[in-house]
A and B are shown apart, each in its own frame.
Chain A
Amino acid sequence: MKVNGVVYPTPADPRRLLSDHLRHDLGLTGTHVGCEHGVCGCCTVLLDGAPVRSCLLLAVQAEGHEVTTIEGLASDAAPLHPVQQAFHECHGLQCGFCTPGFVLSVVGLLAQHPNPTPEQVDEGIAGNLCRCTGYASIRRAVHRAAELSQK
């Protein structure tokens, strides 16, 4: 499987979750793990460009596919991806535990709706839980990310 553009061997044990494989085998600890049953959204990564829960995917299932984690999101030319930049500017994070999952979900949201309405923003981030921000600054960050992405 390819992770952030680098080819890695697939783990031998089929019960290795993709989230654990990324964190423990590849050392990519930017992918966070909260609930391990799909509810919190912290573990969201891109699989062939679309956001999915890495805690609900067996690592063997990613063989032949491309995984993008928060570590691989920004291009080489810019230190931050526009969605990361927007979270930074709008204080879309406090402790940061939920942030990688939000950022990758928002990448998917903006691919679906490049100019999201407030309802589409709420809908798009409803699958991610944040215990700190109260979501207001995250909503602002999503709208800002849409602006930055169009530039």
Chain B
Amino acid sequence: MKPPPFEYRAPTTVEEACAVLASLEDAKVLAGGQSLVPLLNFRLARPAYIVDINRIAAIDRIYERDGGVAVQALARQAAVEDSEIVARVCPLLTAAVRLVAHRVIRNRGTLCGNLAHADPASELPAVLLALGGHVVARSIRGERVIEADRLFSGVMETALAPDELLVEAWFPASSQPFAVIEESRRHGDFALAGVVRAVDRLALFGVAPTPVLADPRDPARGLQPSGDLEATAEFRLHLVRVLTGKAFAA
């Protein structure tokens, strides 16, 4: 297989990347490529330009800020998984990132790319939402903060403008008790349904176009998950109730 033709740009600074994104029609950022390249290979995505951010130096930091942990654009999911800072400040994120794909995928895939991709069945957007974190977006117009509850707008759609680069995600510290529990067909697959508990807050994934906050006492209320070959809508609702029960049993 071969991706469709595109023009390739590899800026070396964030400023240059923002300028390039602002100057091009129909450009896609390439971070870890673990979601974008499959879409190219299947020709489900046909961007005119690929803006590869992997040549930008020093945007792979994971550091403490404002009582939480910040993860920059090129920090790989494996680095988040191994990070002592994340394990200490936000162990919920450590637990969640281990459920994302497989280690070899996490060696390349980035946390920020995962949030930008906004797959409805993805764990990390639900963690950001449950904890009430935010992302920082950068463009030639400057920098802005997008809160988790404003970021995810639809299936693989976010509030990021086409010329904005997600430069950092920030997760508040996670306190006990927390849990992230999902059901998937095979280990490492996307979840059929999953729940994230952060003390008394509950976020669900895989059961709506975006991750959603829910009432732990009646988590399935108002949900209309889609059914597919893997699971019917009813089964997904059942999973939401069972997994929420498990998450709040502790």
Contacts and interface: CB of A to CB of B under 8 A. Distances in A.
A37 B35 CA distance: 9
Interface in B101-115: 101-105, 107-108
Interface string A8-25: 000000111100100000
A15 B104 contact: no
Contacts of A37: 38, 41-42
Interface in A15-71: 15-17, 20, 36-38, 41, 44, 47, 50-53, 55-58, 60-61
Contacts of B132: none
Contact of B108 (A14, A15, A52, A112): A52
B188 A36 contact: no
A57 B37 contact: yes
A56 B102 contact: no
A52 B107 contact: yes
Contact of A15 (B5, B52, B101): B5
Contact of B6 (A14, A47, A122): A14
Interface string A114-148: 00000000111011000000000000000000000
Interface residues of A, number: 30
Contact of B101 (A14, A20, A61, A127): A127
Interface string B183-206: 000111000000000000000000
B63 interface: no
B108 A123 contact: no
A105 interface: yes
B136 to A, nearest CB: 25
Interface residues of B, number: 31
B54 interface: yes
Contacts of B103: 51, 105, 108-109, 112, 123-124, 127
B102 A15 contact: no
A3 to B, nearest CB: 18
B8 interface: yes
Given A108-B104, A127-B101, A56 B33 contact: yes
Interface of B: 1-8, 10, 30, 33-34, 37-38, 40-42, 50, 52, 54, 78, 101-105, 107-108, 186-188
20 contacts: A14-B7, A17-B2, A20-B2, A36-B1, A36-B41, A38-B105, A41-B102, A51-B103, A53-B104, A57-B108, A58-B33, A58-B52, A60-B8, A105-B103, A108-B107, A112-B103, A122-B187, A123-B103, A126-B102, A126-B187
Interface of A: 14-17, 20, 36-38, 41, 44, 47, 50-53, 55-58, 60-61, 105, 108-109, 112, 122-124, 126-127
